[in-house]
Chains A and B, each alone.
Chain A
Amino acid sequence: MLVDLFTVVIILICVYTLRHYVFTVSRVFGRQRQPYCDIDCADWPMVTVLIAAHNEEAVIADCINALLQVDYPTDKLKLVPVNDRSTDRTREIIDDLVAKYPGRIHPFHRTGGKPGKAAALRDAMKYVEGSVFLVFDADYIPGRALIRQLVAPFFDPEVGSVMGRVVPINVGKKLITRLLDLERSGGYQVDQQARMNLGLVPQYGGTVGGVRKSALDEIHGWAENTLAEDTDLTVRLLLAGWKTVYVNRAECYEEVPERWPVRVRQIMRWAKGHNQVMVRYAAALLRSHNLSLRERIDGALLLGVYAMAPVLLLGWLLAVALFYTGVEPWGGIAVLGLAAFTTLGNFAAFYEIAAAARLDNSSSRICLLPLTLLGFTVSVVSVSHAAWMQVVDSIRGAELNWQKTERTRVAPVALGK
């Protein structure tokens, strides 16, 4: 029993290790697919930009001011700040901007209803005009060309959602922000772009992205009862025959957590949401006849990403148990498996980060790579804890609660325009 379980764990670890290597090699040496980045001239459609805000007084003005300066036909751009039950000055700041720029901003002040971004977005859909809407979190600062870059892929009739690249703005603050900066680089510059290159399943990330309204209608809108509305949307669109594409050049600044407890809460929420989607759709995804084999496999692996942390911990425990119980030949193989993972396997994700730093021409921040082990350890423990809590909660029948990520910005940032 232990041996069988250990075999499964080792196979899973090997599969994910291989996945990391394939992505890194594709990104560094492969043909890069960016088919939509050339579109600079077209009959641009009407676009609504939803800015999700819950107690965002520190950041909301920066985001709206940046959106007011974007290079997109003004008559085809509708800005909708979704003020979701804020109790701070968010409403006042939005209303000041509405008065300052008449006709440009159409706020939705949500005072009740179910908590959570997905529920707020669902209610905000009645404000959406046009065939495409984009979603930004309030701490994001879009560049001038960003809206056009995110809208361009929607000219492809197969595209249901689009994801841009998130770049941390508060990098230099602390060790945690520097580690998260490297992690984000690996995740977007290598992981997402490689999936785009290989025709796999890039993921809609919930912000700095857009959705085709007709595609969303086809899948009956946002799922409310989820902590990861972005992953949920990616998978449901995929099952309905809509693709998600990633635009690496559509870069947008965001603020990353500056305190470890905030980061732990954030990643636990992501893990719970992701696992929830995995349980709901993994089987349907693997059975789907509308998808290619590689899409089905990659989609399933994408859904299993956060389940790997507890699997890894289990593997370590099993390896130690097998070693000390001396089951032949597994005692030796267990040690070998453990050693293999903690050298080559474990490092696969770090190769991604190193490749991303190289692609970003980051000369010195790559030196921080050994310290990412700290972030990795925190993530493994937090995600495993989240998975355990999720199992316990499902047995108890408890509901999952949305927890907002704390902002630390205290003054408007210089936009550098």
Chain B
Amino acid sequence: MMTLWAPIMLSAATGTMLAAPLIPSLRELRRRRDAAPLPTRSDDGKIDNFARSMREYMEPLTRQQRKFCTMRDGLIGQVLHMEDIANLAGTLVETPTFAPHSLVFPLPVCFTHELYVRGNLQLADDSMLRAALVEGDADLGERTTVARWIHAEGTLDAGPHAHLYGRVSSAKSLILRQGTLFERVGAVNIYAGVPATSWYESSPLWKGKSLMEMRLGRVRSNGDFHLRDSDAFQGHIVAAGKVAIEDNVLVIGSVKARTDLEIGSGTQVEGTVVSRGRMAIGGRCYIKGPVMCEEELVIGPGTQIGTPASPTTVSAPRIRISPGAMVCGTLWAREAGEVTS
């Protein structure tokens, strides 16, 4: 009897031990709790999507025009008129808010929920917004904080030393005053410090053409690459080491450095500038763009990147931009951006 049961028990125990790890597998296979395709990105990542979502979210307030209204998520939203501002119980507004007309806040205010203004918005210093959509111009006071995003259909002027987390955008112009911290910024014209006029005009030689469409040669360097003062260079540059371009150089092509890249004052690059290390762009330069840097990017005063007619992207983990510089398109600091004082 013993001789029969022993191998059976041993086999059963071994089988159980081998099968045990498969139990969760077989259960998942039968129940199919996680059998849907992985979700892929379906939106195009444009700021219009945020604005559209905000307009849809605020629709109960904009449609009913009552003082208070229950929103889709169960929160109570309020309609705020200019004359109500004096009667606000405090500086803290803890409801989604819709303003059918322009708003001017003489005192600091803190909106902990969405704000939608169908007019202009003017905030006092030290105010705070969570997320705001402004159909007109937005004038943020000094040291204003935006926690998630703000979009203005008109001009957006972020006051000095503002803290702009998340996305900040304008359909027209956006002014980042000195000392402002930013992350993702987008507008046809982004001015650092003070508004300037777009000064660059591309040469008729390649006007209307994309540089990527032009058959340009490519120079590859296994070490560093250097262009001297007032040189002109046609073609793409790819260097395994550092690239140094001195002052007043013209490059009709793109530049890539696998380490650091330095561009002197007054230089024009009619193409992309890419660096896997640090990048420093001097003053009064013009870069057609995009500009991509994998460490820190420093942009000098008076430099213009992109044009209103041909907006582009500037992207780096850390960006320091000097007052007087101008970017047309998107300025994206993945970790932190700052307008230097």
Contact = CB atoms under 8 A, between A and B. Distances in A.
A17 B241 CA distance: 32
B76 interface: no
A175 B29 contact: yes
Interface in A22-77: 33, 35-36, 38-46, 71
A364 B330 contact: no
B192 interface: no
Interface in B299-340: 306, 310-313, 315, 329-330, 332, 334
Nearest to B209: A43
* B interface, size bucket: 35 or more
A144 B44 contact: yes
A364 B37 contact: no
A371 B25 contact: yes
A363 B32 CA distance: 12
Interface stretch (B66-74, B102-110, B146-154, B287-295): B287-295
B256 A157 contact: yes
Given A43-B210, A145-B45, A363-B34, A157 B254 contact: yes
A172 B292 contact: no
B213 A367 contact: no
A43 B294 contact: no
Contacts of B310: 43
A417 B42 CA distance: 7
B25 A156 contact: no
A144 B21 contact: no
B313 A42 contact: yes
A179 to B, nearest CB: 10
Interface string B37-76: 1101111111000000000000000000000000000000
A170 B289 CA distance: 40
A41 B41 contact: no
A257 to B, nearest CB: 15
A143 B40 contact: yes
Contacts of A175: 29
Contact of B313 (A38, A241, A290, A365): A38
Contact of A156 (B253, B292, B329): B292
Interface in A366-386: 367-371
B312 A370 contact: no
A13 interface: no
Nearest to A184: B38
Contacts of B220: 241, 290
A108 to B, nearest CB: 22
A39 B313 contact: yes
Contacts of B24: 367
B289 A157 contact: no
A156 B42 contact: no
Nearest to A167: B38
Given A35-B292, A157-B238, A370 B42 contact: no
- Which of B22, B41, B186 has the largest number of chain A CB atoms within 10 A? B41
A253 interface: yes
Contact of A157 (B35, B210, B253, B288): B253
B37 A168 contact: yes
A40 B330 contact: yes
The 4 closest A-B pairs by CB, nearest first: A172-B35, A364-B34, A38-B315, A157-B236
9 contacts: A36-B292, A39-B315, A43-B210, A43-B211, A148-B44, A154-B212, A155-B212, A157-B236, A157-B237
Interface of A: 33, 35-36, 38-46, 71, 130-132, 143-145, 148, 154-158, 167-172, 175, 178, 181, 185, 214, 241, 249, 251-253, 289-290, 292, 360, 362-365, 367-371, 416-417
Given A71-B46, A131-B213, 17 more contacts: A38-B292, A42-B329, A43-B211, A145-B45, A155-B292, A157-B253, A158-B274, A167-B37, A181-B37, A214-B215, A251-B41, A253-B40, A290-B222, A363-B34, A367-B27, A371-B25, A371-B29
